[in-house]
Amino acid sequence: MYKDNLTPEQIDSLINLLNDYLSAVIDNIDDVEKAWTILVDLMFSSVRDGFYQELRRQRRQSPTHLKSSRESSASTERLLENSESNLRDSVKLGANSRLARFRIHF
């Protein structure tokens, strides 16, 4: 009814305005969807990271982890002591063999 009272120029103008409005709505929907996607992604990433951080904290504080870390520290200390003594022994052997070669030449 209303359309029947409009001139062809007014109808074209109205159609153009409606097309512009609908295009803006569709673009806005895309922007809103992107914003929600980013927000939800950040939210779940934060929750996941917090969960794993808390899980690691609880494992570190558990008695079995403390026991195994103490055992690991002790075995690491033994390995270091052994490698230091092996290093000292190899240095002594190297020095002795150099002295032996030195004595042979003179």
Lowest mean pLDDT among 12-16, 19-23, 32-36, 97-101: 97-101
Rounded CA-CA distance 10/34 in Å is 36
Find how far residue 94's CA is from the centre of its chain.
48
Q: What is the residue extent of each domain of the chain?
A: 1-61, 73-106
- Compute the C-alpha angle 17/20/23, nearest 5°: 150
Contact 5, 13 (CB under 8 A): no
Segments in the chain forming alpha helices (H): 8-61, 63-105
pLDDT tens digits, one per residue of 87-103: 666 666 665 555 555 55
pLDDT tens digits, one per residue of 27-75: 788 888 888 999 999 999 999 999 999 999 998 888 776 666 666 777 7
Q: Where are the beta strands (DSSP E) in 1-106?
A: none
To which residue do tokens 């008695």 refer? 63
